[in-house]
């Protein structure tokens, strides 16, 4: 039996809504929880009182799915009423990582009114959460994925935070970090990656294999192509405030919109 929201302790948080995409998010989240030795916290947000009964069924199904993936991970469930983004952000305050599914707009460029929220809830949570958010696409490329964690590095505080998360992720998964500096001359890009590794305290990389890579492409293009076979692509975001609240930066937004696999969005420092 899953626990309830009265249980305490840090966990991997996943939002569900009964869709196929949220089922994929549960599968990803339970694996993250198992690797981190954390609990799995599954949340359904009912925007109206008449869907609370449906929410209870969705939570039961999600908990069953989690148990099929890894029965050793402790699961707790929460049914809340309210605005999905606000509820998930509040729950994220005590989470290690948040996992959400997305209904992407596809590869087309969004209209100006869509730019803030391609994927709506998932993108808004990624833009404002205080912890890393892993966004799972509705349909992943069927190619066999490597264990690589691809991360963009550009010398910014947000990119440093992304690099630190990528190293932690590779450490628990046993994967390799591909640290990508895009759009810079070779010597400058290599120096940028070395300096970033020094800043995040990755002396010896903690046993993680790190492959620095400097490419001439635009950062979103490079991360999309290099992340095509990767287990995870990680982007840092500086973010900004828009009329409707927090908004992702242009690079992270474009990567989220087009990446064929899961993408982790990481902010710099406390928010």
Classified by CATH at the fold level, domain 11-136 comes out as: Rossmann fold (3.40.50)
Query: Does the pLDDT at position 56 exceed 60?
Result: yes
pLDDT tens-place string over residues 229-271: 899 999 998 765 544 556 788 888 899 888 889 999 999 865 5
Phi, psi (degrees; rounded to nearest 5) at 104: -75, 155
d(CA 41, CA 30): 9
pLDDT in tens, 88-123: 999 999 999 999 998 754 444 443 333 333 357 888
Residue identified by tokens 């591909």 is 178
Residues of the chain with CATH 3.40.50.620: 11-136, 149-266
pLDDT value at residue 104? 53
Residue 184 to residue 198: CA distance in whole angstroms: 19
Question: The whole model's pTM is what?
Answer: 0.87
Q: Are 248 and 256 in contact (CB under 8 A)?
A: yes
| pLDDT per position as a tens digit, 132-187 | 999 998 776 555 678 999 999 999 999 999 999 999 999 988 999 999 999 888 88
Closest CA to 265 of 85, 97, 22, 41: 97
Architecture of the domain made up of 149-266: 3-Layer(aba) Sandwich (3.40)
Question: Whole-angstrom Cα distance, residue 56 to residue 247?
Answer: 31
Angle at 85 between CA 80 and CA 91, to 5 degrees: 55
């Amino acid at each position: 039996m899953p626990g309830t929201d009265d249980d305490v302790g840090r966990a991997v948080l996943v939002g569900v809504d009964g869709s196929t995409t949220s089922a994929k998010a549960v599968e990803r989240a339970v694996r993250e929880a198992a690797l981190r030795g954390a609990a799995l916290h599954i949340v359904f947000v009912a925007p109206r009182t008449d869907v609370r009964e449906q929410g209870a069924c969705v939570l039961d199904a999600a908990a069953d799915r989690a148990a099929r993936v890894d029965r050793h991970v402790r699961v707790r469930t929460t049914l809340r009423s309210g605005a999905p983004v606000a509820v998930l952000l509040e729950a994220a305050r005590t989470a290690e990582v948040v996992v959400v599914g997305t209904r992407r707009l596809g590869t087309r460029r969004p209209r100006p009114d869509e730019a803030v929220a391609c994927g709506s809830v998932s993108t808004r949570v990624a833009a404002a959460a205080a912890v890393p958010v892993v966004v799972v696409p509705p349909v992943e490329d069927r190619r066999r994925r490597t264990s690589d964690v691809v991360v963009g590095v550009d010398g910014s505080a947000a990119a440093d935070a992304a690099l630190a998360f990528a190293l932690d992720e590779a450490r628990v998964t046993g994967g390799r970090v591909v640290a990508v500096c895009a759009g810079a001359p070779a010597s400058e890009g290599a120096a940028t990656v070395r300096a970033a590794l020094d800043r995040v305290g990755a002396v010896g990389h903690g046993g993680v294999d790190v492959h620095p890579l400097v490419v001439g492409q635009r950062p979103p293009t490079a991360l999309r192509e290099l992340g095509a076979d990767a287990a995870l692509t990680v982007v840092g975001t500086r973010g900004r405030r828009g009329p409707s609240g927090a908004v992702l930066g242009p690079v992270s937004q474009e990567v989220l919109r087009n990446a064929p696999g899961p993408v982790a969005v990481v902010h710099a420092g406390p928010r």
